[in-house]
Structure 1
Amino acid sequence: MTWKDTFVQCVQPMLAIVLLLRFSSLVDETGFPHILFLVFFTFLVSLVTGWSACTVVSRKSTEDGFLKTMLAYSNPEFAVSFSIVYMVCLLIATSVFVTAGAEAVLHIFSTFSLELLDGATHDLRLVASVLSLITLALCLVRSRNSRYVRSFIFALTCIATALHLSSTMFRYGEYQLHRVSERNAMIPSPPIEEISTVFSQLFPAAMCGLTILNIGAKLQNTAPRGALIAIAASACFYSAAAMLDYVEFFARTSTVNQTKPFAEQPNEFLSYIYTTVPMAIVVTMACVLSAVTTLKYTSVILQSLGRHCQCSFVLWLAKGYSRRDIPVRCLLLLSTCQILISAIGSYDLLCIPTTVFYLFAYSLFNFYVFLIKLSDPDIPSPPTLLSLAISGACALASIYTNRYLALFIAAIFAVSYCTLLYLHRKENTENDDESPSSTYSSVLEQMHELQNEPDGRRHYHPQILLLSGSPTVRPGLVDFAHSITRGKSLLICGYIIPTAGLGRLRPNILMLGFKTGWEKSSKEVVTDYFGMLSNAFEKQVGLIVFRNEVTGFDVTSSIRKNGAPINDDEDLAEYVDRKLYFVTVQV
């Protein structure tokens, strides 16, 4: 993948979902000045948030996945709580994409006077459920040609967008999809004339501000360019579409003949079929593809949360399948929740919680970047005041859109943050009081859990094989190696042995002391020492040679047994066993 793939992945839903589905009617209902302001604010928020996200991935380019990137950038409490909020954002966004695709399908049905159940909301729920199952199937199946499929659908989206803009300019066809009837809706639709409703329907066009945080480490160095270009290009498209739709609106109202029904104008009806039906097909494919992407991101975040939190139920969801570590259980659970959310009704209803959740998430993220910027002004993130202003504006916009949902999301974040903070402090208190045996048990349990984590999703931790001989006679070398691992990763002290480690816990660094007095040593001793260094390079592991002036680390000469120096390994082994027994008895 390159930055162009990131550009396509970000810009496609931004163009297809709103521009072809709702935007013309939004301009007609709101007017050019208001819609232009909303477009400016929407994409300014997404651009600044994307800029901040670029800063995160550029500083932590070795991390892979949303949660691990946030954990590397922030404290665990904020990272986990924010990931929960963002996961819900993605889940609702998946329902929005599926529902938008279902509306496009029903537009095709209505063109040919087809009805499944009632031609309204029940049909929408049925079609949305079918598209949800298709989305789930596509998430479970990996295709080597998925990149070409995405590029093909993006090309169709560009053609549909060009036709939409050109038809607005030259008025040779309508190219506008109609809303589904609201009969039998579970929740009444919000008033169309309110500015908050218009803003909610527009904001899903700019939901890719945090997308690059989900991208793997191999692409994080080039992804920011693609994401920022996608946001800027979409802003230009929407501004141009607003201007052209506004001009076309006045031209259409001045035409007398526009009120005739399609039944009296067969040529126009045929043109309507030829123009809007292909567009509806393109919108459906783009919506399903966008839903596949967001559902995958959501399942990976849930799987990462399960592996981090170590809860019994969530840990059950953390299991992956096949070599690609597919989170099948997470996909099944999230797809079920997504189908239930899609059953609410229409895009006009689902866009409101989507907008409020994303605004709140953007507010949290920009505020945290603002705090980081205060502590480290050299970070190449957005200006401090700009991050703070965008954070405040997003918070106010979420409250203005729906204050009850905003308070509900704030409660979710606050409860998660406080709970994690309490558990973290409790764990630290218990760790301070626990005995060495319980510490050993917890470390051993974590070592076994690490074996179940796939290679592509693990952090790099130094795992040192320290050739210290007996640790008793080289305490300085052992202490220095321990200062590197600090009890958080593997440290093996021992002689040269052909294999070492527990499962996946294989040493990736060879550490030994500098050979002092080598010029006085025998050729065999020097050759063996040089062979150890060569073997480290051949095995492609890290190599550390530590030296402390000329004394070395071997303190065997200072060890006494009954007042006499120790001269052989047998006396040294007996001395070590006696010391260990003495320590055990004292404990």
Structure 2
Amino acid sequence: MELPVSSDVIHLAAFRPRAPPPVVNGKATQGGGLNESDYYQCLRDGGIVAPPGSDAPTGYETLDSPPHYDFYANTEVWGRRRRFRPSLYQLYANHEVTARLMIVISSSIRCMLNIWGVILFLRLPWITAQAGIGLTWAIILLSSFITGITGLSTSAIATNGKVKGGGTYFLISRSLGPELGGSIGLIFAFANAVAVAMHTVGFAETVVELMHENGAVMVDRMNDIRIIGVITVTCLLGISMAGMAWESKAQILFFLVIMVSFASYIVGTILPPSPQKQAKGFFSYKADIFAANFVPGWRGPEGTFFGMFSIFFPSATGILAGANISGDLRNPTVAIPRGTLMAIFWTTISYLIISATIGTVQHDHSSSSSDEDCLGLACRHGWDFSECIKNDTCAYGIINYYQSMSLVSAFAPLISAGIFGATLSSALACLVSAPKVFQCLCKDKLYPLIGVFGKGYGKNDEPLRGYMLTYVIAVCFVLIAELNTIAPIISNFFLCSYSLINFSCFHASVTNSPGWRPSFRFYSQWLSLLGAVCCVVIMFLLTWWAALIAFGVVFFLLGYTLYKKPAVNWGSSVQAGSYSLALNQCVGLNHVEDHVKNYRPQCLVLTGPPASRPALVDLVNCFTKRLSLMMCGNVAAASPASTQEASGERHVTWLNRRKVGAFYRGVVAAELRSGVNMLLQGAGLGRIKPNVLLMGFKTDWLSDAPQAAHAYIGILHDAFDLQYGVCVLRTREGLDASRPTQSHASVSTDPDPQPSSVFQEKQGKKTIDVYWLSDDGGLTLLLPYLLTRRRRWGRCKVRVFVGGEAEKKEEQKEELLELIKKFRLGFHDVEVLPDIFQRPQPANVHQFEDMVSRFRLDTNPKQDSDCGPPGQREGPWMISEEDVERNKAKSLRQIRLNEVLQDYSREAALIIITMPVGRRGVCPSTLFLAWLDALSRDLRPPVLLVRGNQENVLTFYCQ
């Protein structure tokens, strides 16, 4: 069934389909309707009104619609969406009351209820007596400064997109990524669970005081608090598990009770005190009491500024109550900023007023005895508290009596009710927040063993298992039964959370990501950074060991997430920051001149699809990983499917799965050589561009068309023209690079099981034999040095072989050792080979001649006129007698070198040898390729032929 459009008489959200429509993520799918909450939202808002421009006549502003052609037609009019009349059910059915929180109370009320907690009624007078009114205001304002900045940062993050369930965890994880988001999610959920215990202990403490005043004792004070606390948490658990509707109704009741208790307190400060209240230190507003209580009066182990701050700060930490249940808010992007900032403002005002008034109307020390013969401040009011002050036995006064606000109140039971309302509402809010945050974390599957708590129940996806876990944690801390001990514990966890929130806002802003577009504009990235720094500093000033534990947990979870690399992509600011940093660094490299000491082999590897040549990929990765650039190049043949084949998503996936730090670049070209030329000229970015070309050896060059061999050698010449170094890898199993364009489409991204692991295994105590036969600038020596820095090759011994004369063998060896020592490569095994200049064995020479015979130009072409087309007989790859004679010495040298390699390096892990260079126009391409084949054939170890660009890559100078 298709939905009506906005031009219809009936509002879009007013329809309810006859059958449950298909809904995906809360949005109507094709052929479906809107979800039920949107339908009833229109009813609640009274939004069933014809929009401007509608053709509906005035008066049709109900669910009923006027007659229309579309209601009876079986077809649709092109270009206009079809209208539908409402169903009978939509006309008479009564809508259900949804459990969305914003239907009942606002985010501001929820935040204020969570902020106004046990500290307000039971510890704020005591803190005022300890720190004095002046420093108490400083503590309140410092707390509000931190929470205010955090509120601004939260508002910015919350309005940068749709906020779902998970609250603080959702905000941080989607902003900073799973690495920090996951760790702070666990910490914040735990802090909320402990906060349940803190508020519950405050409630139980008040109940026990009332019991003791009436002579009722169950066991003793501590155990009475534990018993009542456990019972209270159990009752709150039942309310929470009943659903959001019941929890919201309870919050409204608590809010009204707190408002009445505030009124009772303010009225009580104005009323004249009775003699009984005066005996306990309450004298109404007195300037001398204000002056006495304005200065600090530290007492006890907590008697320091930051000691008082650590106890007070949890009373300012409810600012995220709205964000923690963001999934239950009707419009989180509006409710969270307004509600949070309004809550911070009004609660700060209330704290300032109460601290000032309680410090103006009541002495810090007092007792219930009176004596007319007295001296001092109390004498002016007709009471003597000197003796109890001297003996430290005063039972009353704001520094001794936690229930001072009840004493001041016009009707003490209302303050007790306010304490009950504040403590229970805050405990209930934390009990609801912790499981929802933890549930969202579990659903993201960032950590093992916690997924069981991500399961939800009912239409609102209630985290019942999370409620039970929170209940267990809360009960464990309730058993401590000491409010002043529990409060500092959670202060560090909340400060850690706030520092991460502020850093998230700063980081998202400073990365200049186009995706950072919060609709809330009243924030500053530098103010957010200041808030993050202040939170961290205060954490260590409060309790340094607790701060170390908190950050230890964060970094442990951060390390775990970085190691596991969860498969999530949230578009975090860390990703945006990585891009900005990389871009800025690349641009900055344009101002850096090349220097031989900073040379790095940046490799363009002709792998085709990387999975087709895993050995080549693994070897290059061994000396480029975390050191220099590695780019896998693929040339796809021009065909209808070539663009898709050259695309790199599946190839990058394979590289990542194999843990290879490389880029992928694919091009479409008519020929292999032209495609490689594109890669040689266009690969890279600024200074980060390849300077070494690596490719596999063409093992089938004898059986393939000679044009392919000519193109293969042409690639090497093109690389030399562009000042590239060149490396060619040949393995015994074969690393065929002959038909990359034709084979791409059929190559699987799964690794080849045979040659794929040759360079992934540890090489043990074998040797890397380096034949430095020609000086190419040092690349032949640099590559084995880089290999030995890897764990797989670390135990291998590097042997360096050079050609020389038998008479000067020792002298040449010492010269080479001295040169290698100056290069600081750590190679100590050098061998001079005078026998490389001997003539090769005749059998090997004959084998070489047979190999190139098919490419030899016949001196009598008439006798062989039918051997092939003229182009093939006369191509630039053909070898003339003049070419053979002119390059005879080099040909014999390659044959002899192969014999030397067979003798000296049969058991080596890798052979690295200087590649011969065939002069263009002098050495035909097939003869050049025959040299490479003769040099590296029939060898058990892999052979890497290396030729630098004849520029120094090693130096022994300091500058």
Q: Given the two structures, how large is their TM-score scaled by the length of structure 2?
A: 0.41
Q: Residue 208 of structure 1: SS of its match in structure 2?
A: helix
For 2:544, the equivalent position in structure 1 comes to 403
For 1:218, the equivalent position in structure 2 comes to 330
- Of the three residues 318, 336, 355, the one matched with 1:208 is 318
Deviation, 1:213, is: 2.6
Letter aligned with residue 81 of structure 1: S
User: What does 1:308-347 align with in structure 2 at a 5 Å threshold?
Assistant: 308-309=444-445, 313-347=449-483
1:233 aligns with 2:341: no
Contact 2:153–2:523 (Cα < 8 Å) also in 1: yes
Distance 1:233 1:310, change over 3 A: closer
What whole-Å deviation, never above 9, does each CA across 1:244-288 have from its counterpart, x for those lacking one? 12222369853233759999xxxx9x9899833332233223322
What whole-Å deviation, never above 9, does each CA across 1:493-527 have from its counterpart, x for those lacking one? xxxxxxxxxxxxxxxxxxxxxxxxxxxxxxxxxxx
Distance 1:84 1:586, change over 3 A: closer
For 1:470, the equivalent position in structure 2 comes to none
What whole-Å deviation, never above 9, does each CA across 1:445-480 have from its counterpart, x for those lacking one? xxxxxxxxxxxxxxxxxxxxxxxxxxxx9979999x
Taking the aligned partners of 2:523 and 2:749, their CA distance within structure 1 comes to 59
For 2:212, the equivalent position in structure 1 comes to 110
Taking the aligned partners of 2:330 and 2:444, their CA distance within structure 1 comes to 22
User: Which sits farther off after the overlay, 46-55 or 290-299?
Assistant: 290-299
Taking the aligned partners of 2:245 and 2:448, their CA distance within structure 1 comes to 35
Distance 1:319 1:27, change over 3 A: same
Taking the aligned partners of 2:455 and 2:550, their CA distance within structure 1 comes to 28
Contact 1:81–1:417 (Cα < 8 Å) also in 2: yes
Taking the aligned partners of 1:71 and 1:64, their CA distance within structure 2 comes to 12
Contact 2:321–2:429 (Cα < 8 Å) also in 1: no
Distance 1:222 1:171, change over 3 A: farther
User: What does 1:477-516 align with in structure 2 at a 5 Å threshold?
Assistant: none
Deviation, 1:102, is: 0.9
Structure 2 stretches lacking a partner, 5+ long: 1-101, 282-298, 367-376, 389-393, 397-403, 570-608, 613-638, 654-744, 751-959
Deviation, 1:423, is: 0.8
For 1:282, the equivalent position in structure 2 comes to 418
For 1:149, the equivalent position in structure 2 comes to 250
Contact 1:207–1:358 (Cα < 8 Å) also in 2: yes
What whole-Å deviation, never above 9, does each CA across 1:280-317 have from its counterpart, x for those lacking one? 23322332232122122111222222221265521222
User: Which sits farther off after the overlay, 214-223 or 392-401?
Assistant: 214-223
Contact 1:57–1:69 (Cα < 8 Å) also in 2: yes
Over alpha carbons, which structure has the higher Rg? 2
* Larger RCO of the pair (alpha carbons < 8 Å, separation 6+): 1
For 1:162, the equivalent position in structure 2 comes to 263
For 2:193, the equivalent position in structure 1 comes to 91
Identity across aligned pairs (percent)?
17
Q: Residue 73 of structure 1: SS of its match in structure 2?
A: helix
Deviation, 1:157, is: 0.2
For 2:429, the equivalent position in structure 1 comes to 293
More helix by share: 1
User: What does 1:36-55 align with in structure 2 at a 5 Å threshold?
Assistant: 36-55=137-156
Q: Residue 255 of structure 2: SS of its match in structure 1?
A: helix
What whole-Å deviation, never above 9, does each CA across 1:369-418 have from its counterpart, x for those lacking one? 22222223976363233222222221121111111111100100010011
For 1:197, the equivalent position in structure 2 comes to 307
Letter aligned with residue 334 of structure 2: T
1:421 aligns with 2:547: no
Taking the aligned partners of 1:407 and 1:102, their CA distance within structure 2 comes to 31
Letter aligned with residue 371 of structure 1: H
Taking the aligned partners of 2:136 and 2:407, their CA distance within structure 1 comes to 29
Contact 2:163–2:333 (Cα < 8 Å) also in 1: no
Letter aligned with residue 111 of structure 1: E
- Of the three residues 501, 506, 509, the one matched with 1:365 is 501
Letter aligned with residue 353 of structure 2: A
Taking the aligned partners of 1:145 and 1:399, their CA distance within structure 2 comes to 40
Distance 1:321 1:241, change over 3 A: same
Distance 1:246 1:424, change over 3 A: same
Distance 1:34 1:62, change over 3 A: closer
Taking the aligned partners of 2:129 and 2:163, their CA distance within structure 1 comes to 47
Deviation, 1:149, is: 3.2
Q: Residue 411 of structure 2: SS of its match in structure 1?
A: helix
Taking the aligned partners of 1:586 and 1:30, their CA distance within structure 2 comes to 69
User: What does 1:434-513 align with in structure 2 at a 5 Å threshold?
Assistant: none
Structure 1 stretches lacking a partner, 5+ long: 179-188, 436-472, 488-581
For 2:121, the equivalent position in structure 1 comes to 20
For 2:781, the equivalent position in structure 1 comes to none
Distance 1:65 1:434, change over 3 A: farther
Letter aligned with residue 383 of structure 2: N
1:256 aligns with 2:392: no
Q: Residue 191 of structure 1: SS of its match in structure 2?
A: coil
For 2:356, the equivalent position in structure 1 comes to 243
Letter aligned with residue 26 of structure 1: I
Taking the aligned partners of 1:161 and 1:279, their CA distance within structure 2 comes to 8
Contact 2:200–2:427 (Cα < 8 Å) also in 1: yes
What whole-Å deviation, never above 9, does each CA across 1:151-170 have from its counterpart, x for those lacking one? 22211101112222332344
Q: Residue 116 of structure 2: SS of its match in structure 1?
A: helix
Contact 2:196–2:474 (Cα < 8 Å) also in 1: yes
Taking the aligned partners of 2:192 and 2:476, their CA distance within structure 1 comes to 15
For 2:98, the equivalent position in structure 1 comes to none
User: Which sits farther off after the overlay, 46-55 or 201-210?
Assistant: 201-210
Letter aligned with residue 292 of structure 1: L
Taking the aligned partners of 1:391 and 1:83, their CA distance within structure 2 comes to 17
For 1:130, the equivalent position in structure 2 comes to 231
For 1:374, the equivalent position in structure 2 comes to 510
Distance 1:309 1:433, change over 3 A: farther
Distance 1:434 1:11, change over 3 A: farther
Taking the aligned partners of 2:121 and 2:748, their CA distance within structure 1 comes to 79
Contact 1:20–1:164 (Cα < 8 Å) also in 2: no
Distance 1:337 1:364, change over 3 A: same
Contact 1:98–1:291 (Cα < 8 Å) also in 2: yes
Letter aligned with residue 55 of structure 1: A
Taking the aligned partners of 1:89 and 1:427, their CA distance within structure 2 comes to 26
Taking the aligned partners of 2:747 and 2:505, their CA distance within structure 1 comes to 51
1:302 aligns with 2:438: yes
User: Which sits farther off after the overlay, 135-144 or 272-281?
Assistant: 272-281
Deviation, 1:54, is: 0.7
Taking the aligned partners of 1:366 and 1:586, their CA distance within structure 2 comes to 43
Taking the aligned partners of 1:416 and 1:327, their CA distance within structure 2 comes to 23
For 2:35, the equivalent position in structure 1 comes to none
Distance 1:171 1:391, change over 3 A: farther
Distance 1:138 1:474, change over 3 A: farther
Deviation, 1:328, is: 1.7
Root-mean-square deviation (Å): 4.0
Contact 1:20–1:161 (Cα < 8 Å) also in 2: no
Q: Residue 159 of structure 2: SS of its match in structure 1?
A: helix
Letter aligned with residue 220 of structure 1: P
Taking the aligned partners of 2:259 and 2:409, their CA distance within structure 1 comes to 20
Deviation, 1:51, is: 0.9
For 1:391, the equivalent position in structure 2 comes to 532
Deviation, 1:225, is: 0.7
- Of the three residues 157, 166, 174, the one matched with 1:65 is 166
Contact 1:16–1:157 (Cα < 8 Å) also in 2: no
Q: Residue 221 of structure 1: SS of its match in structure 2?
A: helix
